[in-house]
Amino acid sequence: MAIASVWRPITSSTLEELPEEPAVFELANLVRSVLFIGGSPAQGLRTEVSCVLADHRLRSAARYLRFELTGEPAMRAEQILSEYRASHRGEVPPAQGNPAANGATALLRAVETPVRAIGSLAREPRTRIVAPVESTFLRRRSVA
């Protein structure tokens, strides 16, 4: 069963309010697609999330967080990760990396890679050609 709490925007005040207790958490992008699932019995939630967000690439992609306090965060994180894989054709979340590795080293394989385009755009890169633009009323307008 997925984490039942609400998504919270990742802000400095949200991070400061996180409890320093063992928990499992999910980080998501702007449309709330899960990027990373984490949980460690060795660290509290606030410390763990801060360590994960220390990487600027994940920090720039992650916009939302939800968590669940638990006595066994590693086992619960593995359960949530298994559910994710079952519903996503065996794939792990994009920033998860190697699921066998620990939190800080498992972060950002997919966040580092460029986003794949759909259909023919993915086949070959396109070059943007910029044609000269004539002046328009808006470009010549000046403010007095």
Read off the CATH number of the domain in which 37 is found: 3.40.1440
Evaluate whether residue 72 is within a structural domain.
yes
User: Regarding predicted confidence, which is higher, 34 or 133?
Assistant: 34
Contact predicate 77/43, CB 8 Å: no
The two structure tokens encoding residue 21: 């207790």
User: Regarding predicted confidence, which is higher, 85 or 118?
Assistant: 85
**Containing domain of residue 21, as a range?**
8-114
Q: Is the pLDDT of residue 144 over 80?
A: no
Q: What is the phi-psi region of residue 33: left when phi exceeds 0, alpha when psi lies from -120 to 50, beta otherwise?
A: beta
Evaluate whether residue 126 is within a structural domain.
no
Average pLDDT, the chain: 78
The two structure tokens encoding residue 4: 């039942």
Q: Is the pLDDT of residue 138 over 60?
A: no
The two structure tokens encoding residue 38: 């984490």
Evaluate whether residue 123 is within a structural domain.
no
The total number of structural domains that make up the chain: 1
Distance, in Å, from the CA atom of 2 to the CA atom of 24, rounded to the nearest integer, reads 10
